Amino acid sequence: MRRLSLAAAAIAAVGVAPLLLTPFQVTLANNIGIAALVTLGLVLLTGIAGLTSFGQAAFVGIGAYAAAYLATVVELPPALAWLGGSPWGGLALGLALALAVAVVLGAVTFRLAGHYLPLGTIAWGLAIAFLFGTADSLGGYTGLSGIPVLSLFGVRFDSGGRLLWLIWAVLLAALLVTANLLDSRQGRAIRALKGGQLMARSMGIDVVRAKMAAFLIAAAFAAIAGWLYAYTQRFVSPAPFSLGAGIEYLFMALIGGAASIWGAVVGAAVFILSKEWLQDLLPHLAGRTGNFEAVVFGLLVIVLMQHMPDGIASAVRRAARRARRPRPPSPAAGDTAAPLPMRAKPRPGEVILDARGITRRFGGLLANDDVSLSVRAGEVLAVIGPNGAGKSTLFNQLSGVDRPTAGTIVFRGQLAAGSSPRAMARHGLARTFQHVRLLPELTVLENAAIGAHLRGRKGLVAAMLRLDRREEAQLLAEARRQLARVGLAARCDDRAGSLPLGQQRLLEIARAVAADPCLLLLDEPAAGLRFEEKQELAGLIDRLRCDGMAVLLVEHDMDFVMGLADRVFVMDFGREIAHGRPADVQADPAVLEAYLGADA
């Protein structure tokens, strides 16, 4: 409802705008619309996926030059001749080129650490701006002029007002498509990038692919903006696509608040209007002409990043959230959705995970020394030991995060030592994290649905066009079911970050179980929990066991483990020191010494 009325209001505002605004204001509104489209892509990239690009202006340039080239150059090369004349040809060419460049840039930087993409975009943004300025066929520094009036479906966009309709219609469509995407399985995968790659990979998300999706969408939006720009100005030259312009787009995203799609519109509007104002005002103050607004924006962004790194829109939103009443719970429509298919489960008692002779050496440190253990379906195995005993290292070997120096791991009959967390997830392993890794800004339901990522199939385009609703309902219904299983049904629509630690841990388990795993790995699930919370957690783990799940939990809280585990595996100094039923292990003198300390 809220969405519909918002959309209606936006359409109405755009509809009447050309009638109310002066021609100068219409031009400004068009500039803002085009910039907001570019910024929207950056918001997705920077604020939501945690990547950044300084080179968006170059993508805009590709879109603009593709349109201008096809529309103005008389003798096109034979390969492009069939595209000539039609604005659609220009749009297609611009998009194709921009996406191709984005694929190459993404492919060479996404596996590297985070700063390679921004630096790569700086270098490429400079290179492309120089290319526009030097290529003779693109008009050099004088550019290409004489672009005809845009004509689509027989409508001539020959006035600022008509262009305003077109630009803002495209912008609203892009906002809608982006909002759709974020509210889908693929969108959650992109948002999960910010929760740390380890979490994303452990949920079976292809991190490189998710980054690529965000980057391609941002490039596509920029190319479309370029196409609009070319037909608005009816003239292109290299200057507006320089690296400096790319930096300005990033500033718009940061000012507006890189984490909200409406921040794109706010940021573009604030930036363009205040630039206009400053360009009038500052030369008067300084008594000479110059690029003074750049100084102001530079300082503004520095102060902003120091005090409000999430941007203005986010700060306002946070304040509003504090003031607002909680939203009414969304209808549990998912309950009618058909359940998702489940994987074939092992028989009770079947060995699911079998680790033999696991050894892990870090330099001179032997963190795991010849550790062997196995887990069966329907049992809880607890690995315990004092701090520094090597439990976390073992956990990393078993979950595919780290590769053992020696030893084999067989998971469901397949050799698994050193395979990736994604592969382990696909084969039915799900895990939680010692330091809770949730996406605090997403709802509890969305967080849980990330766990079911591998159980969906629909792609980006389907998500943007809302063709994924049936599957999405199934995924959300599954998430809701698992949340009910852990006792969080009532908090589905709360922000995950607002839950107390105990419930956050339960949410992590719901997220893990949503993947329909046959082995659940829990990393210190009781750490920091209150007594009642521990009881609740123990009850939950017990229920999961009764449903046939194998549970391996690493803990150093002995009390928690003793009443719960079927078997206990005690480690110290990276080795097994005891193994067996809880009561036997407790009486073991080696265990006593490990826990209480030897006499000095």
Partner 1 sequence: MNLQVAMLLGQSGITSGAVYALLALAILLVFSVTRILLIPQGEFVSFAALTMAAMQEGRPVRLGWLLGALCLAAVAMDLIASVRARRRPAVSRPTLWLCAWAAAATALSMLLPLAALGHAVQALVTIALIVPLGPLLYRVCFQPVAAAHALVLLVISIAAHVALVGIALFIFGPEGARTEPFSDAVFTVGPALIQSQTLWVVAVSALLVGLLYVGFERHLYGKALRATAVDRLGAELVGISPDLAGRVSLAVAAFIGALSGVLIAPIITIYFDSGFIISLKGFVGALIGGLASYPLAALGALVVGQAESFATFWASAYKEVIVFTLLIPVLLWRSLARTGVEDEE
Partner 2 sequence: MTTPLLLEVRGLSVAYGQVEAVSDVSIAVGAGEIVTVIGRNGAGKTTLLSAIMGILPSRGAVRFAGEAVAPFAIGERVGRGLCLVPEHRALFGSMTVADNLALGAFRHGADERRASQDEMFALFPRLAERRSQLAATLSGGERQMLALARALMGRPRLLMLDEPSLGLAPLIVRDVFRIVAELRERGVAILLVEQNARAALAVADRAYVLELGRVALEGPAAELARDPRVAASYLGIGGRHRDGPPDALNPTPRMSYTASEPPGAGPTATPRPGEDKRP
In angstroms, give the least distance from the CB of 47 to partner 2.
24
Tokens of 451: 């766990």
Per CB under 8 A, the segment of 18-26, 195-203, 332-340, 528-536 that binds partner 1 is 195-203
Comparing CB distances to partner 2, the nearer of 70 and 496 is: 496
CB atoms within 10 A of CB 487: 14
Comparing CB distances to partner 1, the nearer of 254 and 496 is: 254
**C-beta separation of 61 from 127 below 8 A:** no
Residue 312 interaction partner, one of partner 1, partner 2, none, beta carbon < 5-8 Å per kind = none
In angstroms, give the least distance from the CB of 538 to partner 2.
6
Comparing CB distances to partner 2, the nearer of 418 and 502 is: 502
SS3 of the chain: helix, strand, coil, percent, to 5? 60, 10, 30
Residue 78 interaction partner, one of partner 1, partner 2, none, beta carbon < 5-8 Å per kind = none
| Count of residues engaged in binding partner 1, rule: CB under 8 A | 56
Residue 20 interaction partner, one of partner 2, partner 1, none, beta carbon < 5-8 Å per kind = none
CA dihedral defined by 43, 47, 48, 53, rounded to 10 degrees?
70
- The bridge status of strand 351-362 relative to strand 406-411 is antiparallel
Tokens of 581: 């039923």
- Kindly write out the interface string for residues 202-231 of this chain, putting x where it contacts partner 1 by CB under 8 A and - elsewhere: -----xx-----------------------
Q: Does 527 bind partner 2 (CB under 8 A)?
A: yes
Q: Does 309 bind partner 1 (CB under 8 A)?
A: yes
Cα–Cα separations (whole angstroms), residue 521 to 425, 429, 454, 563: 11, 7, 18, 18
CB atoms within 10 A of CB 85: 13
Q: Which residues contact 280 (CB under 8 A, 6 or more apart)?
A: none
Site for partner 2 in 561-600 (CB under 8 A): 562-564, 573, 586, 592-593, 595-600
In angstroms, give the least distance from the CB of 595 to partner 2.
6
Residue 254 interaction partner, one of partner 2, partner 1, none, beta carbon < 5-8 Å per kind = partner 1
Residues comprising the chain, all counted? 600
Is residue 27 packed enough to be buried (19+ CB in 10 Å), middle (13-18) or exposed (0-12)? middle
**Out of 122, 169, 340, 406, the residue judged to bind partner 1 by CB under 8 A:** 122
**Out of 556, 565, 570, 578, the residue judged to bind partner 2 by CB under 8 A:** 556
**Out of 289, 291, 336, 387, the residue judged to bind partner 2 by CB under 8 A:** 387
In angstroms, give the least distance from the CB of 397 to partner 2.
17
Indicate the SS3 state at residue 406: strand
**Out of 108, 152, 155, 465, the residue judged to bind partner 1 by CB under 8 A:** 108
Cα–Cα separations (whole angstroms), residue 472 to 89, 157, 200, 486: 35, 39, 19, 21
- Kindly write out the interface string for residues 418-457 of this chain, putting x where it contacts partner 2 by CB under 8 A and - elsewhere: ----------------xxx---------------------
Per CB under 8 A, the segment of 115-123, 245-253, 301-309, 386-394 that binds partner 2 is 386-394
Contacts for 427-430 with beta carbons within 8 Å, 24 or more apart?
428/343, 428/515, 428/516, 428/517, 428/518, 428/519, 429/353, 429/399, 429/400, 429/517, 429/518, 429/519, 429/521, 430/202, 430/512, 430/513, 430/515, 430/517, 430/519, 430/520, 430/521
CA dihedral defined by 116, 304, 498, 52, rounded to 10 degrees?
-20
Q: Does 420 bind partner 1 (CB under 8 A)?
A: yes
Site for partner 2 in 55-114 (CB under 8 A): none
In angstroms, give the least distance from the CB of 402 to partner 2.
16
Residue 560 interaction partner, one of partner 2, partner 1, none, beta carbon < 5-8 Å per kind = partner 2
Comparing CB distances to partner 2, the nearer of 547 and 593 is: 593
Q: Which parts of 73-159 fold into alpha helices (H)?
A: 78-81, 87-109, 116-134
**Out of 20, 74, 113, 546, the residue judged to bind partner 1 by CB under 8 A:** 113
Residue 586 interaction partner, one of partner 2, partner 1, none, beta carbon < 5-8 Å per kind = partner 2
**Out of 59, 69, 124, 433, the residue judged to bind partner 1 by CB under 8 A:** 124
Q: Does 528 bind partner 2 (CB under 8 A)?
A: yes
CB atoms within 10 A of CB 590: 12
Residue 207 interaction partner, one of partner 2, partner 1, none, beta carbon < 5-8 Å per kind = partner 1
- Amino acid, res. 265: V
Q: Does 366 bind partner 2 (CB under 8 A)?
A: yes
Q: Does 524 bind partner 2 (CB under 8 A)?
A: yes
Residue 274 interaction partner, one of partner 1, partner 2, none, beta carbon < 5-8 Å per kind = none
Place of tokens 């990276």: 574
**Out of 196, 386, 487, 580, the residue judged to bind partner 2 by CB under 8 A:** 386
**C-beta separation of 274 from 294 below 8 A:** no
**C-beta separation of 89 from 67 below 8 A:** no
Tokens of 316: 């306002």
Distance CA 179, CA 99 (A): 21
Helix and strand numbers (H, E) in the chain are 24, 14
- Amino acid, res. 529: L
**Out of 264, 448, 529, 578, the residue judged to bind partner 2 by CB under 8 A:** 529
**C-beta separation of 162 from 155 below 8 A:** yes
Comparing CB distances to partner 1, the nearer of 422 and 485 is: 422
Q: Does 139 bind partner 1 (CB under 8 A)?
A: no
Distance CA 70, CA 82 (A): 10
Residue 244 interaction partner, one of partner 1, partner 2, none, beta carbon < 5-8 Å per kind = partner 1
Write out the H or E segment, with its range, that includes residue 147.
Answer: none
**C-beta separation of 536 from 543 below 8 A:** no
**Out of 28, 538, 577, 580, the residue judged to bind partner 2 by CB under 8 A:** 538
What are the residues binding partner 1 (CB under 8 A)? 46, 50, 52, 54, 104-105, 107-116, 118-120, 122-124, 126-128, 130-131, 134, 196-198, 201, 207-208, 244, 247, 250-251, 254, 286, 288, 290-295, 297-299, 301-302, 305-306, 309, 420
What are the residues binding partner 2 (CB under 8 A)? 362-366, 386-389, 392, 434-436, 498, 500-502, 524, 527-532, 534-535, 538, 556-560, 562-564, 573, 586, 592-593, 595-600
